[in-house]
Structures are given as C-alpha cells and as structure tokens.
C-alpha cells in the first residue's frame, strides 16, 4: 500500500515537471516507464466495472489514431489521469478495509485495542511492534530487539512465513480497480489518499514487514524499504509533505479556486437562488413563460458545485498560500462556515477546522511575519500583511461560526430545495414536454439535494472543540428534521420522471445535436475561422467532430424511443480538440477560436462544442448522469442514523408516510459501494442492505398498523359511532323525563354525552382534524406502497404491496384477538361484531387505494380464527396440523366455563321465557343475559359462521358426554334397588325402603341439571344459527328444512342420513334438537339401551325425594325455578327418549345380523318389503316405548310426591307439581292427560293463578271485601306447627276489623268472581285446622275431579268448586 502511495506521488512529481516545464508531453523514457506502470494497473483491473465515461471515451484511442500522432499522446495522458484516479480509489478502499479489520487504530497516539492484535495482520507481539514503530525511521536491525521481547522475537522467527503472508496483501499492489470520472478530481483523490494514510499504522506495517523479510532473506531488506521509509517520514504528518510537494502547483490551484468562486457564492446564497429562479422551471421575471432560459449555464455549473466545494476545502488545506489572494478569504469563508468535517473516503472524515488551525494557520502566520518584516520596503508587503492578518482572523473565527451557524444555513437550504424540487415534480408531471429543455436544471437540483443529504448525515454526532475554549461542543443536528424525507422523495420522483420520459429527452438531445452540427459547420466556414492558420491535424479533428454529429440518428415520430447512438467518438474527438487548443505549444488556442467565431452568432465555436458535448451525454449516458448527480450510495455507511431519522420523521407531525418509498429506494444503491479490491464486501454490503430494508419495512408496517389502530380506537371512529348509540338516546330521554318532573331532584348535567354534531363546533374540531389527517396519511401511504416498484437487492426482491397485505391482515388478526376480551373478560359478541365491522370499514378504505382484495383476506382471517377442525356431519377429512382457531377457542372456552359449567359460581340460571341465561352476579364484566341473549348468539354466529357454531357445539357435546357417563354409572350402581322399587311401587312401605336405598341421588340431580343446562345452551345456539342461516341464505335453509322433513325414517339410520341430521341439528333446522343431540352421544356409548337403561324412569322418579326441592321456588317472570331444576325436565325428556331410540336401533342391528346368518330362502324383493314393514313397526314401537317410559316416570313421580306429602312436609309439593307440568309441556311424548290421571288440572290452575296474581303491583284497600278475602295462599312455607300460611291472611276476632292487600291484576281473574262466594265463606282459623284450598288432599279424603260442594254448613264450600267453574287461566288444556 505504501508502494502504491509512493508511485502515485512520484507520478504527481513527474507530471508536475512535464506539465509546467515541458508542456504536456513528457520525456520518452518517462512515457514508456509510466505507460508500463499504468498497464500494470489496467491488467489488475476488472473491466466489467470500469467507468462508462472512461471506457467509452478512451478505449478505442489506440485503434483509431496512429501511435506516432501527437493527439494520441495527449489522449493517452488523459488515460493516465483516469488510471491514477482509479489507483487512488483502490488505495482508499484497501485502507478503509484495513482500518476496519484493525478496529480503527490511532497510530499517532500509539493506542491499539485487543482486536487490533487479534486481527491477524500484525503479529501479536505488542512490545516488539510498538518499539520498532516508536523508533521509526530507524532500521529494525539496529534496535537490538532481543532486549525488548526475546520470546516474541523467537516466536516471530519460527512463524515468519505465515506472518509475512498475512501482511503482504496489505503492502503489495494487488486488485486495485475503481471508478472516478474527471481529470480535476485527480488532485482531490491524491490529497485524500495521503490524508487517509495517516489513519493507517503504516509505520508499524513497513517496519514489521521488513523485519520479517530480513529474517527470511538473511538480513537483506525489502527492495522498496528505504524508499518507503523516506516517503512515510516525509509525509509524517501527511499535510507536511503535501505542502512541500504541491507547492509547485499552488498557483494553478489558486487560479482554479478563483474561477469556481462565483459558483460557490451562488450556491451559498439561498435568497438569490430563490429570487432569481435558478432552480425554477419558470422564468424568474416572466412567470407566464413556461421555460427558464435565464441561467442555462449556471444550472449546469450548480450540478458540479459539490465537487467545487471539495476543491476549495482541499486546495486551501494543502496550498495555504493561495488564501492570500484577494478573493481567497471570501471563497474559503463561504465554504468553511458551512462545514465541520471533510470527507476522505466513505464515512471516514477529518475535523476540518482543527486541520486548518494545525497546518494552515502556521503557514499564514509565517507569511504574516515575513510580510511584516518587509512591509517598510515594499508596498506589496503591506497589502500582503493585511491580507494575512484577515486570513488569520478568519481561520480563528470561522470555526465558532460554523459550530453555531452551519446547521441553520443547511436547514434553510434544505427547505429551499424541498420547495423547488416539489414544484419541479408538479410542473414536469403536468408539462412533461418541458422536462428535456430543463434537464440540466434537474441535474443541478439532484446534485444540490444529494449534497445536503450527505452533509446532514456526515455531521450527525460530530463533536468539535471551540477555538477559544477547551470544552468539547457537539454539533446540534435535529434528528427529526422532516426535510430529509422530502429531499429523498423529491430526488426519487425526479429520477422517475427522467426515466419515464427518457425517449423524449433523448429525442430533444438528438435534435439539438443535429442543429449544433449545422452551427459548428457554419462557424468553421466563417471568415474569422478562414483567416486563422489552422493546421491539418486540428482541421481533421473538427471534421471528425462534425461527422460524428451528422451521423447521429434523426428521431422521427414514434421511433424516438428506439433511437440509440454511441456518441463516445464525438466526445473523444472534442476532448482531443480541447487538449490541442489548450496546449501552450499550439498556435491556435481557445481565445483565438472564440474571437474568430463570436461575431457570427450568440455563441462561439468552443461554447457550441461544449454545449454539444453536454447534450451528447443525454443521449447515451443519461443513466450515468443520474447516477452521478442523484446517487446516495454512501448513505450505506450512515444506515443506523438513516433508520433513526426515518423513524423520527416518517410519522411525525411534519412527516409524510408516502416518503417511505424514497427511504427504501436508497438501499438498492448500497451494493454499488463494493470494490473489486475487497471481494468480500459485496456480500456483506448486500446483507446489510437487506437488513436495512427489512428494518424500514418493519417500521413502515408498524406505522401503517398504528394509523389503522388510531382510526379503529375509541378516540377515532369509535368516538363518532358512540354518539349515535340507542343507549345514549334512552339515557337522554330518561334524563329529560326526570328533569321535567317538578318533584324530581336536581340532576347532574349530561355533558359527558355530547350530542351528535358536537364535534363540528370550532372548539371541538381538533378531533375531526386528527381523524382527517390520519385518514389522509393512511390513504396516501397505501397508494404509494401499492404503486412502488419492487426493490431488488442481490437475490432479494421486496414487493411492498405484499408486505402491506400481510400487515393489514396480521393486524386484523391481532386486533381480533385483542378485542375478544375486555378487562380480562369476554367482550359481548354484538360489540365484537360492531368492532369488527368498524375495522373492516377502515380496511375497505385502504382497499380503495390498493389493487388487492383485502376483504377476501379478512374473510380468510376470520375463517382461520373460526376453523378448528372439520364440521361434524359435513366434512370427512381429518383435522389439519396447522394451528388455527385461536379466537374461537377463547370464546368457546369462556362460554363453556362461565355459562355452561358456571365454574365461578355466579348463579347461572336458564330463563325459558326470555330464552337466555341469567346470573345472580356479574360473570366478569357483564351479567349472563348480556352475553347469552339470542341476539348476542346471532352476532356470534355471524362472526364465526358454521365453524364457530360447530366448535362450541362440539365442546358442549364433550361436556354432555361426560355427564351422561356419570348418569350411566349412577344408573348401573343402583340397578338392584331400582328393580326392587319397580316391583314394589304400590307398596308404600317397601317403596319407601328402596327409595332410601338409592344412593348418589344428589350428584345425579346435579349432573342432570348440568346436562339440561347444556342442552338449553345448545338449543339457543342452534336457534341462533338457524335464524342467521335463514336470513342470509334462505334458499339453503329451506332446502335443509324441507329435506329434513322428508327424510326417510329408518332404524338403524344410514350413515349419510345420520350425518345430515347431525348437521341440521347443529344449525337449528330440526325441532327435536335435544333428543337428536343426546341420541348422537348415546350411540357412541357402550351399554346404552340394555336392560339397565329400562330402569331410567324409576331412577329419575327417585329424584322427587331429593332435598333440592326444599329450596326450589318457581318464578313466573322467568318461567323456571330459582335453582335450575326446570333444566332437569329437559334432561329427563331427552335422555329417556334418546335411550329408547338407541335401544331400538341396537335391537334392530342384532335382528339384521341374525337374519343375514339365516339361509336366503325368500326372494330379494320380499326381503326388502319385510324390512320396510319391520322398520315402520320399529319406529312406531319406539314412540310407544318412549310414551310408556314417560308415563311410568309420571306415575311413579306423582305417587312418590303425593304419598310422601303430609301436613308436616308440604313445602316442596308445589315445586314438584309445577316441575311435572313443565315436563308435560316440554315433551312431545307426554300429553297433559297423562299427568291429569294423577294430578288434577284444577290444582295446577290454582297454583299458576296465585303466582300470576302475585306478579302484578299491589294496592292497599281501606275496607275489606268479600271478593278480596279468599285467603289464597301465596307461598308454601310451613309454620312451626306444620301449618301453611298465606302471604296475606285475615285476622279475625271480636270487634276486630281486618284489612287485606289485594294484587290488582291488569286482567280480571274469573277466580275472584264466583257468585256462590260470600262473606260467610271466610271463617276463623283454629289452631290445629289448616286452611282449605286447592291442595286439600289427605290419606282419608280423596277428591274426584267432579266433586260437588258439601252441604254441611260447618265444613264450608268445597275447595275445588271454584276450579270447576273456572275456564280461564295461564294454561289452556285441550
């Protein structure tokens, strides 16, 4: 590496002499030697990555020009320039990689980390290596290294070949090939190489390498060792050698910097750029003119202003004497006050002002001192002294000024570029035909924007030391500056416009070149040119230039896009012309040509040729120009800061989410940073670019989710929906009614319930503005992501539309799981449905701006969250392995645990009248009726469909299976006692004995009630599913319903018919839901239907002796009991009926099996006919058996109830009778006439009449009435002496007056209008005499249903007389 630096330095020295003293042509010996050197570099280059400008302009020089021609020699000098620029770039690439490998050492301070020694480049002998480095430039052989580290030296001798092999690639010139494009950049590249070399431990490398070389070569030094030592010593520090070495070109550098001064001042004057319209497509003074031709050349110069700034910073740094020029202070001041660091290579920088104060300021002070000494003798010295004094003050003051003002200057410039580029994008999008004439202005805007973006990231985290203080001051760079996103987005859009209209630009350029050829031909034939003595060689070059221009294709109509031309020959020839006319040996120079041709037109010959050269690049090098002016590939080295700024600005108050495409697009240029000299960089940079894109995509999708969730929140669209809820209207109506009552207390204001439209008031518009801004950002972001082209990095392709789809659907899935529960409890299905609809409306809003069907994707998400397995009765495939159904599992688990099983003991009760479950206390955040109402279950069905219904039904089915197994166990454990009970049912003593022997009665009732509760829930679920199916797919519902009605009845049922019945039962199409469900369960159980299950009616009849009836109370408003005993009736009906079906089916299977074993003596048709007849007989017999079993249960239960009743135990009697009546109403196989045989209807009618009368409001009567004093018992609670007391009784005595409370029913009861009733019917009640009434049954007196009242005056009217006369009541009997 040091060899490379030395060779480039020697070339600069030789070129210095040749260019200044001997013109451009060097000595022949020097030429041959340098040509060999450059050939060596070319051989080691990779031709695939050579600069297009270099290859296209110079690759055919040798073949097109004879070797002896002077033009060939001048062209070859240009090739040397490009080669040396490549060498400089390759050197910096290797040094950059070496610095990375060595963990960025600090050679000047001798501070090396552990990673430095473990990198494998320098031998891991710190004492030895540090010693020879500190003694540099002394020869290592003279340092007596054995005294420093004897063991290390011995180890170095043993492994010297391996160490030498590791170090050699970093010292020798292998694999150096890079791209740089212009001759003037050679100076900057040369300075940067030397400045960068100071960051590499070159002293240690050279010393250690030579030490190991001497070990292998018997003490002989490396052949370039002494030259390297001399070179490093003379460039230690590098600026010291640069000052001495470049002193001969200092005047030329000063002239160049003075020449670019006006462009520097123009670029620094933001106000002038804005007012004069240098970056505006409009004319600055005539806005109606839709093209700006006021500053065409200035626009072209602004495109190179970034390079000009580097020339100024580096030129004055290595040639400080040029600051003493008159304009030097102003030019340096304009650039220094805007910059704090100077970029060397990639992200390697030096502190600019510290370097100026260390190396430039001493030179200025020296000049000042010399001028002060000669000021008395020469007037020029006095002026030089004053200038030196001003330069000194400028260098001292500009540092502090840069720290305080640089960020503000660049922020103002970024704002200007943001505005101008935004106008450009709008203007050229609307007027694309004007893009081609203003293409140079577009390049200038791109270059300035690129410069500002790179400045911003290079200065993030920079820490500088103030010149007048010792404290360290960090540069304040706002990491949330939104202008960076605007600039990147504007650059991306301008590049897209250029690429979109490339054919139009190419056509315009070709048309310009055609006219330029005519003008150049005209200028060459002008009198001024004829008067000049132009030699044949130069005239031949001019003819070649015109020939190349005339050979360029002429675009016509639609063939513009296909017009491609290689104009590299034209540019090569024109550069050859410039090389000739700029040579001091040429008799014709640029000034002669301009004077000879300027009078003939607006532009001279040289100006026309330069303009043609510029426009020729728009024909075949347009993409290269875009890469030059808009490439931000070096942002790769600031990708961490890039990510931070992106996240801070993208979704900030001034950010634009649609800029994300530009932030992502920069990653596609990251792999261009890879160099051939470091092959492993390509994959590393590619991986880092992929990681950067993935990180940004994650942030973008996170922002997209955030926007959707903001709109989906309660403060978003939820706040608008909540103003239209019916509950709020009801609350306001109640509030208004209470306020209108004069006696009502003062009510609090309903300020927390704003009226609809309240958000439109000026004071409340912030919410609407926030929602509008969120909607605008969401839609614009989706539009941009939908239209963005795929990002290709290596073999990775990122399609943002697919990421958007996945983001929306995954967010919906997460949102669905989140809203399922509220405060660790289940959300109401109706609320959940409204939230899902709200989210879907937002997704529909997104869907309008993307070319994808997101609605179908959301349906798939809902399906995946509802699907947990195939539907029973419909699907035959196995459950897939994939994990689905998370949401439905959460809901079903909650319903099963909290409603069906009631594990929390919330007192869940099923209310038949309301068709829902109610609870004594909240189940989580709601009462049970809020989540089990039919409307809530319908919302559940609409959300999760048949899969959700089947999942919940299947879980309840498993629960029912466990309960039925428990019932089976209890039945079989009591088989002996139940058989004896059935045989002695009419013997009261034996019956009572065996009733007491039946065990596990309370668990049986508990299991049966739970089973009945589960049947109630599945019935509600099936009804809800049926209603939803009928509402949404009425044709399918009617098809299933009609098909179910006409299904052939058979025993046993065919498999397909059974599956269809299971499906229709789940979807609420069938009527016998409970029996069908229990039947499907019992069919899978072993032993069901045998002789033991025939004792099931007797088992349930024994339940009438349970203690549960002591706490049972009927509630008229719910139609059930307070402890869910009415669910026992549902279980009894379903289990008895289903068991008979199972018994009959299994008997039929046995019969068929036996018939198949018999010989086939009859025909097939006769067999089928007999089978059908037996099938019909079997179904009829099943129904008969079910009725018989139910009749047995009613008979046994009534006997147990009435025979166990006595005066001392009457409390559970009413509940049991109501239970039997509910069972008759529930079962299709148990008519009420069966119950009438054992319990007269009059008793039940009386019971219901009293319950219904007690359910209406009460009025206090002042005087008693005969009609109001019947003393109907309202509750059946025994007193201490065994008597029953009514809720309202009549107290009698001498002179005593009684008042009675009467329940005024809304409909008049005929029970109270009997004409035969009189005041004498009410008699005083004795201590041991109970009240007569509908339950006047004892063992001594049996009352028939048509019993007539007794004529005995003492006994009073018959208690059944009023029921005989009554024909109305809550129950109608047929």
Tell me how far apart the alpha carbons of residues 382 and 1257 are, in angstroms, rounded to a whole number: 118
Examine the pLDDT at 569 and tell me if it is beyond 80. Answer: yes
Q: What is the pLDDT of residues 813-841, one digit of tens each?
A: 999 998 888 877 888 899 899 999 999 99
What integer pLDDT is reported at residue 1014 of this predicted model?
93
Q: What is the pLDDT of residues 453-467, one digit of tens each?
A: 999 999 888 877 665
Which among 908, 715, 930 has a CA at the least distance from the CA of 827?
A: 930
- Cβ atoms 696, 821 nearer than 8 A: no
Tell me how far apart the alpha carbons of residues 899 and 916 are, in angstroms, rounded to a whole number: 11
What integer pLDDT is reported at residue 192 of this predicted model?
84
Examine the pLDDT at 1346 and tell me if it is beyond 60. Answer: no
In percent, the amount of the chain with pLDDT more than 90 equals: 19
Query: From residue 867, how far is each of 93, 116, 854, 882 by CA, in Å?
Result: 58, 59, 19, 10
pTM of the model: 0.72
Q: How many CA atoms lie within 13 A of 885 on its CB side?
A: 20
Task: Record the tokens describing residue 280, joined without a space.
Answer: 């505006």
Task: Record the tokens describing residue 173, joined without a space.
Answer: 């010139």
Q: Are strands 348-351 and 341-345 parallel, antiparallel or unpaired?
A: antiparallel
Quickly count: other Cβ atoms within 10 Å of residue 860's Cβ. Answer: 12
Q: How many residues can be counted in the chain?
A: 1374
Which among 1318, 1319, 1332 has a CA at the least distance from the CA of 1360?
A: 1332
Tell me how far apart the alpha carbons of residues 520 and 609 are, in angstroms, rounded to a whole number: 7
Residues 6+ apart with CB under 8 A from 213: 164, 220, 221, 222, 225
What integer pLDDT is reported at residue 418 of this predicted model?
92
The mean-pLDDT minimum among 307-321, 408-422, 605-619, 1251-1265 falls in: 1251-1265
What integer pLDDT is reported at residue 764 of this predicted model?
67
- Cβ atoms 673, 636 nearer than 8 A: yes
What integer pLDDT is reported at residue 1045 of this predicted model?
81
Q: Measured in Å, how far apart are the chain's first and last C-alpha atoms?
A: 114
Confidence of residue 966 (pLDDT cuts 50, 70, 90): very high
What integer pLDDT is reported at residue 1167 of this predicted model?
54
Tell me how far apart the alpha carbons of residues 994 and 984 are, in angstroms, rounded to a whole number: 9
User: What residues are paired with 1187 via a beta bridge?
Assistant: none
- Cβ atoms 446, 629 nearer than 8 A: yes
- Cβ atoms 674, 685 nearer than 8 A: yes
Q: What is the pLDDT of residues 176-211, one digit of tens each?
A: 222 223 445 677 888 888 888 888 787 887 888 888
- Cβ atoms 661, 785 nearer than 8 A: yes
Can you tell me whether residue 1206 is helix, strand or coil?
A: strand
Task: Record the tokens describing residue 801, joined without a space.
Answer: 């539309």
Confidence of residue 1312 (pLDDT cuts 50, 70, 90): very low
Q: What angle separates helix 681-711 from helix 800-819, to the nearest 10 degrees?
A: 40
Which among 1121, 1338, 1123 has a CA at the least distance from the CA of 1251?
A: 1121
Q: What is the pLDDT of residues 1190-1206, one digit of tens each?
A: 999 999 998 888 887 66
Examine the pLDDT at 57 and tell me if it is beyond 60. Answer: no
In percent, the amount of the chain with pLDDT more than 70 equals: 71
Tell me how far apart the alpha carbons of residues 1074 and 1053 are, in angstroms, rounded to a whole number: 18
- Cβ atoms 925, 823 nearer than 8 A: yes
What integer pLDDT is reported at residue 449 of this predicted model?
94
Tell me how far apart the alpha carbons of residues 544 and 233 are, in angstroms, rounded to a whole number: 50
Q: What's the chain's Rg over C-alpha atoms?
A: 51
DSSP-assigned letters across all residues of 350-377: EEHHHHIIIIIHHHHHHHHHHHHHTTTT
- Cβ atoms 919, 908 nearer than 8 A: yes
Tell me how far apart the alpha carbons of residues 424 and 440 are, in angstroms, rounded to a whole number: 13
420 burial (CB, 10 Å; 0-12 / 13-18 / 19+) is buried
Instruction: Tell me, letter by letter, the H, E, C secondary structure of 966-983.
Output: HHHHHHHHCHHHHHHHHH
- Cβ atoms 361, 243 nearer than 8 A: no
Tell me how far apart the alpha carbons of residues 773 and 706 are, in angstroms, rounded to a whole number: 13
- Cβ atoms 594, 602 nearer than 8 A: no
Q: What is the pLDDT of residues 1263-1300, one digit of tens each?
A: 333 333 333 333 333 333 333 333 333 333 333 333 33
Examine the pLDDT at 1113 and tell me if it is beyond 70. Answer: yes
Measured in whole angstroms, the distance separating CA 198 from the mean position of its chain's CA atoms is 47
Tell me how far apart the alpha carbons of residues 363 and 243 are, in angstroms, rounded to a whole number: 10
Tell me how far apart the alpha carbons of residues 1317 and 1301 are, in angstroms, rounded to a whole number: 19
Mean pLDDT, rounded, for 68-90: 56
Tell me how far apart the alpha carbons of residues 150 and 858 are, in angstroms, rounded to a whole number: 75
Mean pLDDT, rounded, for 506-530: 86
Confidence of residue 1015 (pLDDT cuts 50, 70, 90): very high
Task: Record the tokens describing residue 382, joined without a space.
Answer: 């006095």
296 burial (CB, 10 Å; 0-12 / 13-18 / 19+) is middle
Which among 901, 1112, 900 has a CA at the least distance from the CA of 1016?
A: 900
Mean pLDDT, rounded, for 297-321: 85
Tell me how far apart the alpha carbons of residues 1177 and 1159 are, in angstroms, rounded to a whole number: 24
Tell me how far apart the alpha carbons of residues 639 and 460 are, in angstroms, rounded to a whole number: 12
Tell me how far apart the alpha carbons of residues 1251 and 1215 are, in angstroms, rounded to a whole number: 12
Mean pLDDT, rounded, for 1109-1115: 88
> Is residue 1282 left, alpha or beta, with left meaning phi > 0 and alpha meaning psi from -120 to 50?
left
What integer pLDDT is reported at residue 567 of this predicted model?
87
Examine the pLDDT at 271 and tell me if it is beyond 80. Answer: yes
- Cβ atoms 1082, 1142 nearer than 8 A: yes
pLDDT, greater one: 356 or 158: 356
Q: What is the pLDDT of residues 868-924, one digit of tens each?
A: 878 877 777 666 656 778 889 899 999 999 899 988 888 899 999 888 999 888 887
> Cα 112–116–117 angle (5° rounding)?
100
Tell me how far apart the alpha carbons of residues 334 and 1351 are, in angstroms, rounded to a whole number: 131
Examine the pLDDT at 276 and tell me if it is beyond 70. Answer: yes
Confidence of residue 1338 (pLDDT cuts 50, 70, 90): very low
Question: No. of H helices and E strands in the chain?
Answer: 57, 14
Confidence of residue 101 (pLDDT cuts 50, 70, 90): low
Which among 646, 673, 643, 627 has a CA at the least distance from the CA of 100?
A: 673
Can you tell me whether residue 840 is helix, strand or coil?
A: helix
pLDDT, greater one: 300 or 1302: 300
Residues 6+ apart with CB under 8 A from 1072: 1228
DSSP-assigned letters across all residues of 1337-1361: --SS----TTPPPP--TTT-S-TTH
Examine the pLDDT at 335 and tell me if it is beyond 90. Answer: yes
Residue-averaged pLDDT of the chain: 75
Query: From residue 1157, how far is each of 561, 1151, 1161, 1165, 1168 by CA, in Å?
Result: 89, 10, 12, 18, 16
Query: From residue 585, how far is each of 21, 256, 424, 588 by CA, in Å?
Result: 12, 21, 47, 9
Confidence of residue 969 (pLDDT cuts 50, 70, 90): very high
Confidence of residue 1366 (pLDDT cuts 50, 70, 90): very low
Residues 6+ apart with CB under 8 A from 114: none
> Is residue 1227 left, alpha or beta, with left meaning phi > 0 and alpha meaning psi from -120 to 50?
beta
Tell me how far apart the alpha carbons of residues 608 and 595 are, in angstroms, rounded to a whole number: 13
Task: Record the tokens describing residue 40, joined without a space.
Answer: 């060596």
What integer pLDDT is reported at residue 714 of this predicted model?
83
Tell me how far apart the alpha carbons of residues 640 and 184 are, in angstroms, rounded to a whole number: 33
| Location of structure tokens 């299950």 | 1093
Examine the pLDDT at 31 and tell me if it is beyond 60. Answer: no
Select, from the ranges 869-873, 1107-1111, 1127-1131, 1301-1305, the one with the highest average predicted confidence (pLDDT): 1127-1131
- Cβ atoms 498, 438 nearer than 8 A: no
What integer pLDDT is reported at residue 1099 of this predicted model?
92
Q: What are phi and psi of 792, to 5 degrees?
A: -110, 120
- Cβ atoms 1039, 1029 nearer than 8 A: no
- Cβ atoms 66, 72 nearer than 8 A: yes
């Amino acid at each position: 590496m040091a060899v490379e630096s030395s060779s480039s330095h020697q070339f600069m020295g030789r070129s210095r002499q040749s260019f200044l003293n001997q013109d451009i042509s060097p000595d022949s010996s020097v030429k041959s030697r340098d040509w060999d050197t450059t050939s060596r570099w070319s051989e080691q280059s990779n031709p695939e990555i050579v600069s297009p400008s270099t290859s296209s302009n110079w690759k055919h020089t040798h073949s097109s020009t004879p070797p002896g021609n002077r033009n060939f020699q001048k062209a070859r000098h240009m090739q040397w320039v490009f080669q040396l620029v490549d060498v400089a770039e390759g050197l910096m690439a290797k040094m950059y990689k070496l610095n990375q490998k060595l963990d960025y050492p600090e050679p000047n301070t001798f501070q090396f980390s552990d990673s430095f020694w473990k990198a494998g480049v320098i031998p891991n002998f710190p004492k030895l290596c540090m010693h020879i480095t500190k003694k540099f430039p002394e020869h290592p052989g003279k340092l007596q290294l054995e005294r420093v580290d004897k063991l290390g030296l011995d180890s170095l001798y043993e492994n010297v070949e391996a160490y030498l092999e590791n170090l050699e690639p970093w010292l020798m010139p292998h694999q150096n090939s890079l791209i740089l494009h212009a001759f003037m950049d050679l100076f900057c590249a040369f300075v940067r190489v030397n400045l960068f070399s100071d960051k590499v431990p070159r002293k240690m490398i050279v010393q250690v390498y030579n030490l190991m070389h001497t070990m292998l070569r018997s003490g002989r030094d490396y052949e370039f060792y002494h030259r390297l030592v001399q070179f490093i010593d003379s460039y230690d520090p590098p600026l010291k050698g640069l000052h001495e070495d470049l002193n001969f070109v200092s005047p030329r550098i000063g002239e160049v910097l003075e020449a670019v001064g006006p462009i520097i001042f123009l670029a620094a004057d933001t106000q002038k750029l804005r007012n004069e319209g240098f970056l505006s497509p409009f004319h600055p003074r005539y806005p109606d003119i839709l093209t700006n031709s006021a500053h065409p050349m200035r626009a072209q110069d602004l495109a190179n202003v970034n390079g000009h700034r580097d020339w100024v910073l580096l030129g004055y740094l290595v040639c400080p004497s040029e600051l003493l020029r008159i304009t030097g202070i102003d030019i340096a001041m304009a650039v220094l006050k805007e910059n704090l660091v100077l970029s060397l290579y990639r992200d390697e920088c030096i502190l600019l002002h510290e370097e100026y104060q260390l190396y430039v300021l001493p030179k200025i002070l020296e000049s000042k001192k010399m001028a002060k000494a000669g000021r008395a003798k020469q007037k020029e010295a006095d002026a030089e002294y004053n200038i030196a004094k001003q330069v000194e003050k400028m260098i001292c003051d500009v540092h502090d000024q840069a720290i305080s003002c640089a960020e503000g200057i660049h922020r103002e410039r970024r704002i200007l570029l943001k505005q101008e580029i935004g106008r450009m994008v709008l203007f050229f999008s609307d007027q694309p035909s004007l893009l081609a004439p203003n293409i140079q202005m577009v390049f200038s805007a791109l270059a300035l924007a690129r410069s500002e973006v790179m400045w911003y990231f290079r200065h993030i985290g920079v820490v500088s030391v103030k010149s007048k203080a010792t404290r360290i001051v960090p540069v304040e760079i706002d990491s949330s500056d939104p202008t960076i996103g605007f600039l990147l987005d504007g650059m991306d859009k301008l590049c897209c416009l250029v690429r979109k209209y490339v054919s139009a630009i190419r056509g315009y350029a070709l048309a310009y070149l055609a006219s330029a050829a005519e003008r150049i031909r005209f200028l060459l034939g002008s009198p001024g040119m004829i008067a000049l003595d132009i030699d044949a060689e130069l005239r031949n070059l001019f003819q070649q230039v015109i020939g190349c221009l005339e050979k360029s294709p002429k675009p016509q109509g639609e063939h513009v896009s296909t017009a491609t031309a290689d104009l590299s020959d034209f540019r090569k020839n024109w550069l050859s012309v410039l090389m000739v006319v700029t040579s001091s040996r040429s008799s014709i120079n640029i000034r002669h040509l301009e004077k000879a041709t300027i009078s003939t037109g607006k532009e001279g010959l040289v100006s026309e040729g330069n303009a043609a050269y510029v426009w020729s690049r728009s024909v075949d090098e347009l993409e290269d120009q875009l890469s030059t002016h808009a490439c931000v590939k070096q942002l790769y080295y600031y990708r961490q800061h890039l990510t931070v700024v992106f996240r801070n600005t993208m979704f900030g108050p001034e950010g634009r989410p649609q800029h994300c495409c530009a932030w992502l697009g920069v990653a596609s240029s990251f792999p261009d940073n890879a160099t051939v000299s470091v092959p492993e960089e390509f994959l590393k940079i590619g991986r880092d670019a992929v990681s950067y894109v993935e990180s940004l995509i994650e942030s973008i999708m996170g922002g997209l989710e955030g926007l959707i969730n903001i709109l989906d929140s309660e403060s978003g669209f939820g706040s608008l929906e909540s103003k239209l809820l019916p509950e709020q209207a009801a609350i306001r109506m109640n509030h208004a009614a209470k306020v209108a009552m004069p006696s009502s207390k003062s009510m609090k204001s309903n300020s927390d319930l704003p009226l609809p439209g309240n958000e439109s008031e000026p004071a409340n518009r912030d919410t609407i503005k926030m929602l509008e801004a969120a909607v605008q950002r969401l839609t614009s972001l989706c539009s941009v992501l939908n239209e963005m082209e795929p990002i290709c990095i290596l073999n990775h392709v990122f399609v943002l539309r697919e990421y958007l789809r996945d983001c929306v659907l995954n967010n919906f899935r997460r949102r669905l799981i989140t809203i399922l529960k509220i405060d660790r409890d289940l959300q109401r299905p109706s609320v959940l449905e409204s939230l899902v609809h709200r989210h879907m409306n937002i997704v529909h809003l997104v869907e309008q701006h993307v070319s994808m069907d997101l609605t179908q994707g959301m349906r798939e998400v809902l399906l995946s969250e509802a699907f947990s397995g195939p539907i029973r009765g419909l699907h035959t495939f196995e459950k897939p392995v994939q994990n689905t159904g998370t949401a439905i599992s959460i809901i079903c688990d909650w319903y099963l645990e909290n409603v069906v099983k009631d594990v929390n003991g919330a007192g869940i009760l099923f209310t038949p009248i309301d068709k829902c479950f109610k609870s004594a206390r909240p189940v989580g955040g709601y009462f049970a009726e809020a989540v089990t109402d039919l409307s809530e279950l319908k919302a559940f069905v609409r959300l999760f469909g048949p899969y959700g219904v089947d999942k919940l039904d299947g879980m309840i089915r498993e629960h029912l299976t466990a309960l039925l197994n428990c019932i089976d166990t209890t039945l079989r454990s009591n088989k002996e006692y139940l058989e004896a009970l059935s045989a002695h049912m009419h013997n009261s003593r034996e019956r009572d004995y065996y009733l007491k022997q039946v065990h596990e009665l309370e668990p049986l009732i508990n299991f049966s009630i739970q089973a009945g509760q589960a049947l109630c829930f599945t019935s509600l679920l099936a009804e809800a599913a049926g209603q939803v199916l009928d509402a949404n797919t009425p044709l399918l519902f009617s098809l299933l319903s009609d098909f179910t009605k006409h299904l052939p009845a058979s025993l046993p049922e065919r498999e397909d018919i059974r599956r269809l019945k299971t499906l229709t039962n789940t979807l609420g199409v069938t009527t016998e839901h409970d029996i069908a469900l229990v039947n499907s369960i019992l069919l899978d159980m072993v032993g069901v239907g045998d002789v033991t299950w025939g004792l099931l009616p007797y088992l349930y009849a024994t339940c009438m002796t349970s203690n549960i009836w002591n706490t049972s109370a009927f509630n008229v408003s719910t139609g059930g009991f307070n402890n869910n005993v009415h669910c026992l009736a549902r279980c009894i009906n379903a289990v008895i009926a289903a068991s008979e079906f199972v018994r009959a089916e299994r008997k039929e299977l046995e019969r068929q099996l036996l018939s198949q074993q018999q010989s086939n003596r009859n025909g097939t048709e006769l067999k089928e006919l007999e089978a059908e007849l037996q099938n019909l007989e079997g179904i009829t017999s099943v129904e008969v058996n079910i009725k018989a079993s139910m009749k047995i249960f009613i008979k046994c239960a009534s006997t147990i109830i009435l025979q166990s009743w006595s005066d001392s135990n009457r409390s559970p009697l009413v509940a049991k009778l109501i239970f039997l009546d509910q069972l008759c109403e529930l079962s299709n196989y148990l008519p009420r006439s069966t119950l009438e045989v054992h319990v007269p209807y009059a008793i039940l009618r009386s019971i219901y009449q009293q319950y219904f009368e007690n359910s209406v409001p009460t009025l206090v009567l002042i005087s008693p009435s005969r009609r109001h004093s019947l003393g109907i018992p309202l509750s059946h609670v025994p007193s201490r002496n065994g008597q029953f007391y009514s809720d309202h009784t009549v107290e009698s005595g001498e002179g005593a007056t009684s008042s009675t409370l009467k329940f005024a029913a809304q409909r008049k009861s005929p029970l109270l209008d009997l004409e035969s009733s009189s005041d004498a019917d009410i008699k005083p009640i004795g201590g041991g005499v109970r009240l007569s009434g509908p339950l006047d049954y004892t063992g001594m007196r049996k009352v028939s249903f048509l019993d007539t009242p007794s004529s005995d005056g003492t006994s009073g009217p018959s208690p059944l007389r009023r029921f005989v006369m009554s024909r109305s009541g809550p129950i109608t009997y047929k």
